[in-house]
Amino acid sequence: MDSNAKRTYLIAAIFLVVAVTYIIRLFALQVIDTSYKLSATNNVVRRIVNYPARGLIYDRKGTLMVYNQAAYDVLVTPRELQPFDTLNFCNITGISKEELNEQLQKAKEYSYFKPSVIIKQLSAQRYAILQEQMYKFSGFFVQTRTLREYPQKIASHVLGYVGEVNQQMMKKDSYYETGDYAGITGIEKSYEKELRGEKGVNYLMVDVHNRIKGSFQNGRYDTTAVIGENVVTSLDAELQRYGEELMQGKAGSIVAIEPSTGEVLTLVSSPTYDPNLLVGRDRGEHYLALARDTLNPLFNRALMAQYPPGSTFKMVNALIGLQEGVLTPHMRYWCHYGYTVGNYHMNCHHDSAFALSGSIAESCNAYYAQEFRSIMENPKYRDVRQAYDTWRKYVMSFGFGRTLGTDFPNELKGFVPSSNFYEKYVFKGSRWRALPIISLAIGQGELGITPLQLANYAAILANRGYYYIPHIVKKIQNENIPTRFTERHYTDIDTTQFPKIIEGMEEVLKPGGTAAMSRIPGITMCGKTGTAQNPHGADHSVFMAFAPADHPKIAISVYVENGVWGARYAAPIASLMIEKYLTDSISSGRKWLEKRMMEANLLEPKKPKKEVPAKTETAVRSKANKPAKRDTTAPKEIAIKRDSLILQDTIH
Amino acid sequence: MILVVMGWLNIYAAVYNEDHQSILDMTQRYGKQLLWILMAAFIAITVLIIDSKFYVAFAYVFYGVVILLLIAVLFFGKEVNGARAWFEIGGFALQPAELGKFATNLAVAKYISQYNFKMHRFKSLAVLGMLIGVPALLIIAQNDTGSALVYAVFILVFYREGLSGMFLFWGFAASVLFILTLIWPEVRLVGFLIFASILAYGIVRQRMKEVAKMIGIFAAILGVVYLMNYTVRLSLSTAMILYIATGISILIFIIYGIRKRIQPVFWVVLFFVSSLALSRSVSFAYEDVLVAHQRDRIDEVLGIRSDPLGVGYNVNQSKIAIGSGGVTGKGFLKGTQTKFNFVPEQSTDFIFCTVGEEWGFLGTSTVIILFMILLIRLLILAERQRSRFSRVYGYGVAGILFFHFAINVGMTIGLVPVIGIPLPFFSYGGSSLWSFTFLLFIFLRLDASRMEILR
């Protein structure tokens, strides 16, 4: 037609170019790129999580220690709200009208379509009334949650508590999501996997306003919740309660173990707190108060405090001596009010010679100083350093200076210095001699052990040479307890050596022994007193024991901070615990002792336990008598102090 | 032929209807749409019955009436979504802007088909500019910029009727420059322009020696300026250095050009300077003339800024919907994105998502191919018209449909900024359906009677 007719091809070409571009783009979008499919699924599918009830916890006799209590949260979906009788609602739920309005406002600001919590943890009674009248309050509904409840109000350190998971935990275990609860300490933590059960998930389809439209693919991906398993602990609730009563007004710990199984019967860390404080609405506030308390009730002394073992350690040295052949039970060492070499003097208060059992019964320092020297200067070894390494290996075989592998979280190692440590801080290149480390003979110096390790050591002596790893679990509902708890662990000392020291330990509780006062009529008990030196204040009272002597049923360790010496507090408390456990009661002749122990108050006079002390007071005390846990945590500091320490070893 | 076109229409309509039933719980909208379609069919028949001369004769009258309506709507219209573009008559909303398309098309066709019409005359261009400019401006005044942009497509029609191809080329070049200005940093843009200028010069002159000389001079000056900046510590920005070097070079080149009488030098320099000026004015226009939400939408498409929950929400959800369809789609009524209202405006502007999600790639490509067949078919039909009026009108129809199609589909897949215009024959809405019906069937009527007259 006209000259421009050909231009139609250009126009057609433009059309086609656009169309082809679009088709390519669509191909990329729909066929190649799969990420959009995922986005679409995320858009419409909501995971609704069903939380299972946490497993219950029992003591060894079946006493319920922890259970779940229902708590009721009231939620509101603002879009579904209809005018309601606010006065009535407030009366039922027990909140003020202002609070209600404020909460409703917040909920509306958050979302009109998504429910938000307006009242947390309504009591069961109020819930019952509210449930009856629920039809009047359109838009509100109640969600049930479970909270931990501790009916016995004891053993807070053992049981631990449950709290919301943090970022770290979520990173470590993909099971957890924001808002989930998990065990933070104690059994709640170590048996978290068993106790928590398995969350159930329902996938639901929702529209853009989050309204539920049905289940996703007919519930193909849904899982049902599995209830948590119940855990039976080896704890004896009665003994635990008794131990906590005895430790009132004192800082320290009691650990009791059944030697024949390694089961922990009692684990007291004092001061303690009511485990129910760390549950529910006011948890944060209570936690803060406890954390601020200078007596540190949240600190589990039984597992984490590291004190010197004091004279309780003497049997270790005796056994090493026997094993190494440098000591025989009848060998005697003299004591002249102590042990003197050159200008070094270790104090003691005898003026006689002791054989092995006597040395234990009367806790002679001089005996052990000489005995320790003979271990260190054993000609079998090239030098003292090599002897020391051997010695250390023996000591560690008793479970000192390393974690035992228990089922408690936060178990600490304690401290048995390596030869490198002494090389660096004491000998500094000079020749190794026994004298500068001689306070190890009587369990002082740089040694640090936890009360749990001391109790395990008592169990080793009770078993005459072996132990089971201490553990708190006795039975798990559907599983066996880990096999490591049912294997015997032997020390490096021959079992034949052990009976030789038992006699001495028996004599400790006999007239003339250091803890004669703590004798239990009708029960042969073996024990050993100790005093843990405390550079910050009065020494700590230490006692370890097992009973009955022949077929021991209980091995125990007691630390009483600032208790001055072993026989004063720790031994009587241990004996009362043993008597209680073996006979279920305290004989009338010993009631006075029980009373005295319970009433003894070594903490600030008349200070209420759970109050935050005034600032000045705090400052003074933290200087004066901080718990000895610090003693071994900073080796450098100790090395500087040790010279002055050695010169005044006046210990039982 | 008519039957074939109607067949396509029916397919579109059918797909469209069924989709609607699935998307909307409200049968109301679906019912209304069916009513619109029936009325559209009625209109179609009426249009076909009326003699074709009628449209030719009354072209200007239609145009005048629509212009009046467009003015009236500014005063009496009802405001919907910020655009005062609707008349409400007994429950039905009428959008004059939609009617404007075919009326303008008729008027343009009529004007071009005048016996003594010459495209390159200034007066002709001015009148045509008025014819499309007046309704476009009125629609912009209604705050419905998207619909006004449709009128730009008449450039294609004019091109067919003799408008210089340079218009198309420069328009294209300007839009490329516009986009580059927005997404490239200044230095790179200037560098690109310098490169393009030298390349253009090289192509025009075909003398490598000259080009090499020019590059050498420019590089030397650039080096000197750069060193001066470094040693004298003028602390100029990189862009500034580039400008200074270029300015000096240009001076040298012009002197060179005058002395040697080489014309292309001036053209290239002119090209360079005007491009630079345009690009500078673009950034100005972009920041100051466009409304914030328009700027946001352009930013979003060019990837300058990404905000999938805010400005980009529509497009993002739309892409998710289309992308999740896969090859074959989720199946009819199975679309989760569209069924649960994640895509806004899905029954009108984002109707293409439903196709993409439920019918997958096969569905979307089928729709695109069908549109292409329709458009190409229209071009062929237009080309076989004996009367110039019919031909121009035919091109207008094809152009308008193409523009709607390109923009609408493009925005759902994130290639074009979001402009709220419907997909022909798919989107819900009476006015647009009627408007397209008028548009198409008037052309079919003209086509049917193409043998009768020779105009």
Count structural domains, chain B.
2
Helix, strand and coil content of chain B, in percent to the nearest 5, comes to: 75, 5, 25
Shared domain for B312 and B440, answered yes or no, is yes
Specify whether the CB–CB gap between B233 and B290 falls below 8 A.
no
Helix (H) or strand (E) holding B87: strand B83-89
Specify whether the CB–CB gap between A90 and A118 falls below 8 A.
no
B415–A30 C-beta distance less than 8 A: no
> Rounded to whole angstroms, how far apart are CA atoms B403 and B152?
9
For residue range A206-230, list pLDDT tens digits in order.
665 556 666 666 666 677 788 888 9
CA distance B26 to chain A (A): 16
- Tally the residues of chain A: 652
Q: Which residue type sits at B7?
A: G
CA distance A172 to chain B (A): 31
CA distance B276 to chain A (A): 27
CA distance A139 to chain B (A): 22
B360–A30 C-beta distance less than 8 A: yes
Shared domain for B24 and B142, answered yes or no, is yes
**Residue A158 exposure: Cα atoms within 13 Å on the Cβ side:** 35
Write out chain B's pLDDT in tens, 455 residues: 444 454 455 445 444 544 444 444 344 455 666 666 777 777 777 877 777 777 777 888 888 888 888 888 777 766 665 566 666 665 556 677 777 887 888 888 888 877 677 766 777 778 888 888 888 888 877 777 777 778 888 877 877 777 776 777 777 777 777 777 776 777 777 777 778 777 777 777 777 777 788 788 888 888 888 887 777 766 667 777 777 788 888 888 788 777 777 777 777 777 777 777 777 776 666 666 666 666 666 666 665 555 555 556 667 777 777 777 777 666 655 555 555 555 655 556 677 777 777 777 887 888 888 888 888 888 888 888 778 888 888 888 888 888 888 888 888 887 777 777 777 776 666 667 777 877 888 887 887 776 665 44
The SS3 assignment for B129 reads helix
The strand pairing partners of A201, in sequence order, are: A49, A223
Out of A12, A26, A208, the one facing B376 most closely (by C-beta) is: A12
Give the rounded distance of the alpha carbon of B183 from its chain centre: 20
Cα separations in angstroms, B252 against B264, B266, B451:
15, 12, 64
**Residues of chain A contacting residue B320, judged by C-beta atoms under 8 Å apart:** 36, 39-40, 43
- The answer as to whether B300 is a domain residue is no
Query: φ, ψ for residue A526 (rounded to 5)?
Result: -110, 135
Q: Are strands A231-233 and A57-58 parallel, antiparallel or unpaired?
A: parallel
Shared domain for B421 and B362, answered yes or no, is yes
By CB atoms closer than 10 A (0-12, 13-18, 19+), residue B7 is exposed
Shared domain for B244 and B321, answered yes or no, is no
Shared domain for B29 and B76, answered yes or no, is yes
Out of B375, B395, B413, the one facing A25 most closely (by C-beta) is: B413
Residue with tokens 């729709």: B367
Shared domain for B282 and B361, answered yes or no, is no
Angle B196-B276-B197 (CA atoms, 0-180°, nearest 5)? 20
Residue B443 in tokens: 């052309």
Shared domain for B277 and B199, answered yes or no, is yes
Shared domain for B82 and B196, answered yes or no, is no
User: Which of A225, A299, A308 has the alpha carbon at shortest distance from A50?
Assistant: A225
**Residues of chain B contacting residue A23, judged by C-beta atoms under 8 Å apart:** 364-365, 368
- The answer as to whether B171 is a domain residue is no
Specify whether the CB–CB gap between A182 and A196 falls below 8 A.
yes
- The answer as to whether B170 is a domain residue is no
> The whole model's pTM is what?
0.58
All structural domains of chain A with their residue ranges:
237-646
The strand pairing partners of A346, in sequence order, are: A339
CA distance A221 to chain B (A): 17
For residue range A247-306, list pLDDT tens digits in order.
988 899 999 999 999 999 999 998 888 888 888 767 778 888 888 888 888 888 989 888
> Rounded to whole angstroms, how far apart are CA atoms B311 and B265?
46
Q: Which of B155, B330, B336, B375 to mutate to test the interface with A (most CBs of A within 10 A)?
A: B336
> In 10 A of CB B366, how many CB atoms?
14
Give the number of beta-carbon pairs within 8 Å between A and B: 120
Cα separations in angstroms, A135 against A10, A130, A289, B387:
71, 9, 42, 76
- The answer as to whether B176 is a domain residue is no
Cβ under 8 Å to B: A residues 171-230: 205-209, 213
> Rounded to whole angstroms, how far apart are CA atoms A64 and A152?
8
Q: Final residue of a domain: which of B227, B259, B288? A: B288
Shared domain for B134 and B13, answered yes or no, is yes
**Residues of chain B contacting residue A217, judged by C-beta atoms under 8 Å apart:** none
Q: Final residue of a domain: which of B288, B315, B348? A: B288
User: Which residue stretches of A469-561 are H helix?
Assistant: 499-508
The side-by-side arrangement of strands in the sheet containing A212-215 is A45-50, A200-206, A212-215
B342–A43 C-beta distance less than 8 A: yes
> Rounded to whole angstroms, how far apart are CA atoms A501 and A464?
10
Shared domain for B333 and B190, answered yes or no, is no
Residue with tokens 């947390």: A120
Shared domain for B241 and B277, answered yes or no, is yes
- The answer as to whether B168 is a domain residue is no
By CB atoms closer than 10 A (0-12, 13-18, 19+), residue A268 is buried
Residue B294 in tokens: 């328009």
Put simply, whether A23 touches B (Cβ < 8 Å) is yes
> Rounded to whole angstroms, how far apart are CA atoms B355 and B281?
40
The SS3 assignment for A557 reads strand
Specify whether the CB–CB gap between B107 and B59 falls below 8 A.
yes
Domain A237-646 has CATH 3.40.710.10: yes
Shared domain for B85 and B17, answered yes or no, is yes
Chain B residue at shortest CA distance from A29:
B323
Query: φ, ψ for residue B209 (rounded to 5)?
Result: -60, -45
Domain with B118, as residue range(s), is: 2-163+307-448
- The answer as to whether B174 is a domain residue is no
The SS3 assignment for A561 reads coil
Cβ under 8 Å to B: A residues 40-69: 40-41, 43-44
Residue with tokens 């529910």: A280
